[in-house]
Chains A and B, each alone.
Chain A
Amino acid sequence: MAETVLETEGLTMRFGGVTAVDGVSLKVRARELRCLIGPNGAGKSTCFKCLCGLLKPTEGHVFLRGEETTGWDPHRIAAMGVGIKMQVSSVMDGLSVQENIWMAARRHNDTGAATAKAEEVIDRLALGPIARTDLGRLAHGERQRVELGLVMAQDPWLVLLDEPAAGMTGEEVTRMAEIIHEMTRSAAVVVVEHDMQFIRSLASTVTVFHRGRVLVEDHVDRVMADPVVRDVYLGKQA
């Protein structure tokens, strides 16, 4: 059994009177691929933000590689070796692809090694032709790919991705699934997603969120066959 790299205990997040995440306990093991799914408002994105430090949970605990990180600032969590990509594409627009990726690589490498690492990531993601282009001039799909490059360049042991396939074309989605699978060779990957087709192509264990709680947790094929899950997605009461 691989070690547990991410664990939450009774994670709860309230906004005023609304409980967005309600007592969620998760365990993700090393090199595991895990999708968090659920209809809109199920609490998966809020849970995601608690994991990467953008929100401080009201109650409960988050452990990364056994260390409690509840309430840490995002930069401390990222510095541990956690690669994070938010839902809205967020990059350094005025800088080139190479400069963006170099900056991610520089966190855990010295200058020379960071340059080499950036080179390597650019090759792996086939970004060579646009390496010197400013991010502000790139199309949406390319920006998403560069952002994955930022995550890769950090050499993470845990990757957190919030809706990585949003707004992509079919071909780009396939390519994205390949990249994610490649990442699991060295890291556990947690993907928040609601595009069922994409989740199917990832073929992983999924955790279904509903009204802030974990509804089921199983392999994607079995989850898809579950009538309760279907009802949740189709809007019936579970």
Chain B
Amino acid sequence: MAMTTGRSAARDTGVVVILGALLVLGLPLVADTNMLTLLVIYGMLALSLGLIWGFGGILCFGQAAFFGLGAYTFAIAGINIGESTLPLVLSVLVPAAVAALLGAFMFYGRLGDVYLAVITLVFSLILFRWLNTTAGPAYVIGNARLGGFNGIPGFPLLNVPGYPRWELWGDPLYYVAAVALLVVFLLVSWLLRSSFGRIAIGIRENEERVSLLGYDIRARKTVLFAIGAGIAGLAGALFAAWAEVVTPSLFSLQQSAEIIIWCIVGGLGTRFGPVLGAAVVTSVKITLGGQAMLDNMLVLGLILVLFVLFLPRGIAPELARLWAWAIGGNRKPVRRRAPRGGVADG
């Protein structure tokens, strides 16, 4: 994470691009692209929470709300506009704007961790409840009926910009989503190297001290929260394009819980961890879906409990240590305190 010089930044970018390109091109050889698309989308969603929680110290229990908002914006705007380029942009901007409002409301009120968790959780619950009641014909936005519990089907899918009839699905959608994830990943890396990102990490470490250095932490946290929401919104739009339907379950508590599980399993305070966590947990979930012995949620819950108890820093730091050991072991990876409150070192 200590990426201070331009040279190491360039090297970091190079490594990410090369590894990313290899993965994007290589994975379809071993797995089904339909499932890979979902993993990529969830990876992006995990990255959005990993950014604000792992680096900004903002634990949002309702990140699914912004995912859902992005998906609904994509669907509703698509139906009204008739193509998907502008809706894709809106599906980033709308959640970001909503998060900026909600964030300002919370951060300028100096709410502590737990209270932040309650408000974000309640916020997604309100959206979930309300959307479930919008079944009647009275609930329309432009030409789009909200459809209550059943959600909105039949909106324009992702298309080549300017050519509404060239819709992207199947393999092309996978490549678009995977490249989008790679670009978002690079942007997040750049953000974390920037002054804004480094000060955000300082705020995670010691809010009061950073404010005594003259930084307005309320504004900075609000902006970071909005950026995270924008990324979640983009993931939501891609999800809508993949699933071809949006339903209120996108806003559910279980969806929010899963995002948190991905981050914990992968490793907080790392960029790659949450993406990896999303891929691993979702693969496990899909595999389990094929059998009837064990319930899905039982296993997900067990994974969360076991990680919190025994591996609170997640997989990524362990992999990094393994890697360092494998290539010679003279360079010990920097072990940092886990960003969550009070996790013992080790």
Which residue of the partner chain B has the closest CB to A104?
B213
Are B216 and A95 in contact, with the CB atoms below 8 A? no
Q: Which residues in chain B, 176-226, are within 8 Å of chain A measured between CB atoms?
A: 195, 198-199, 201-202, 204-206, 208-217
Best-surrounded residue of B204, B212, B337 (most CB of chain A within 10 A): B212
- Whether a CB of chain A sits under 8 angstroms from the CB of B336 is yes
- Whether a CB of chain A sits under 8 angstroms from the CB of B30 is no
Q: Chain A nearest CB: distance from B325 CB in Å?
A: 21
> Residues of B contacting A52 with CB < 8 Å?
212
- Whether a CB of chain B sits under 8 angstroms from the CB of A167 is no
- Whether a CB of chain A sits under 8 angstroms from the CB of B339 is yes
A94 to B57, CA, bound (A): 12
Q: Which residues in chain A, 86-111, are within 8 Å of chain B measured between CB atoms?
A: 86, 90-96, 99-100, 102-104, 106-108, 111
Q: Chain A nearest CB: distance from B166 CB in Å?
A: 43
Q: Contacts A75-B217, A103-B199, A134-B336; is A93 near B210 (CB within 8 Å)?
A: no
* A contact residues, total (Cβ < 8 Å): 32
- Whether a CB of chain B sits under 8 angstroms from the CB of A166 is no
Are B206 and A75 in contact, with the CB atoms below 8 A? no
Are B213 and A154 in contact, with the CB atoms below 8 A? yes
- Whether a CB of chain B sits under 8 angstroms from the CB of A51 is no
- Whether a CB of chain B sits under 8 angstroms from the CB of A127 is no
- Whether a CB of chain A sits under 8 angstroms from the CB of B309 is no
- Whether a CB of chain A sits under 8 angstroms from the CB of B2 is yes
Q: Chain A nearest CB: distance from B38 CB in Å?
A: 34
The interface bits of chain A over 104-120 (1 if a CB of B lies within 8 angstroms of the residue's CB, else 0) are 10111001001100000
Are B210 and A103 in contact, with the CB atoms below 8 A? yes
A147 to B204, CA, bound (A): 18
Main secondary structure of the interface of B (DSSP, over half): helix
> Residues of A contacting B199 with CB < 8 Å?
103, 106
Which residue of the partner chain B has the closest CB to A156?
B214
- Whether a CB of chain A sits under 8 angstroms from the CB of B4 is yes
A96 to B204, CA, bound (A): 14
> Residues of A contacting B217 with CB < 8 Å?
75
Are A92 and B4 in contact, with the CB atoms below 8 A? no
Q: Contacts A91-B206, A136-B337; is A75 near B216 (CB within 8 Å)?
A: yes
Q: Chain A nearest CB: distance from B190 CB in Å?
A: 13
Q: Chain A nearest CB: distance from B191 CB in Å?
A: 14
Q: Chain A nearest CB: distance from B277 CB in Å?
A: 21
A97 to B225, CA, bound (A): 27
Q: Contacts A103-B202, A134-B336; is A90 near B214 (CB within 8 Å)?
A: no
Which residue of the partner chain A has the closest CB to B345?
A136
> Residues of B contacting A86 with CB < 8 Å?
208, 212
Of the candidates A76, A95, A106, A154, which one forms a contact with B205 in the assembled complex, judged by CB atoms under 8 Å apart? A95
Q: Contacts A92-B205, A92-B206, A93-B337; is A75 near B2 (CB within 8 Å)?
A: no
Are A99 and B2 in contact, with the CB atoms below 8 A? yes
- Whether a CB of chain B sits under 8 angstroms from the CB of A79 is yes
> Residues of B contacting A150 with CB < 8 Å?
209, 213
Q: Contacts A103-B210, A111-B195; is A94 near B215 (CB within 8 Å)?
A: no
> Residues of B contacting A95 with CB < 8 Å?
201-202, 205
A94 to B269, CA, bound (A): 11
Which residue of the partner chain B has the closest CB to A90?
B209
- Whether a CB of chain B sits under 8 angstroms from the CB of A191 is no
A115 to B205, CA, bound (A): 20
Of the candidates B2, B202, B211, B216, which one forms a contact with A92 in the assembled complex, judged by CB atoms under 8 Å apart? B202
Of the candidates A94, A111, A154, which one forms a contact with B214 in the assembled complex, judged by CB atoms under 8 Å apart? A154
A90 to B209, CA, bound (A): 6
* Chain B residues close to A by CB (< 8 Å): 2, 4, 195, 198-199, 201-202, 204-206, 208-217, 336-337, 339
- Given A90-B206, A150-B213, 13 more contacts at CB 8 Å? A52-B212, A75-B211, A75-B213, A75-B216, A76-B214, A78-B212, A79-B215, A91-B209, A92-B202, A94-B204, A99-B198, A106-B198, A107-B213
Pairs across A and B, CB under 8 Å, 11 listed: A52-B212, A73-B216, A74-B212, A75-B211, A75-B212, A91-B206, A92-B209, A93-B205, A94-B339, A107-B214, A108-B214
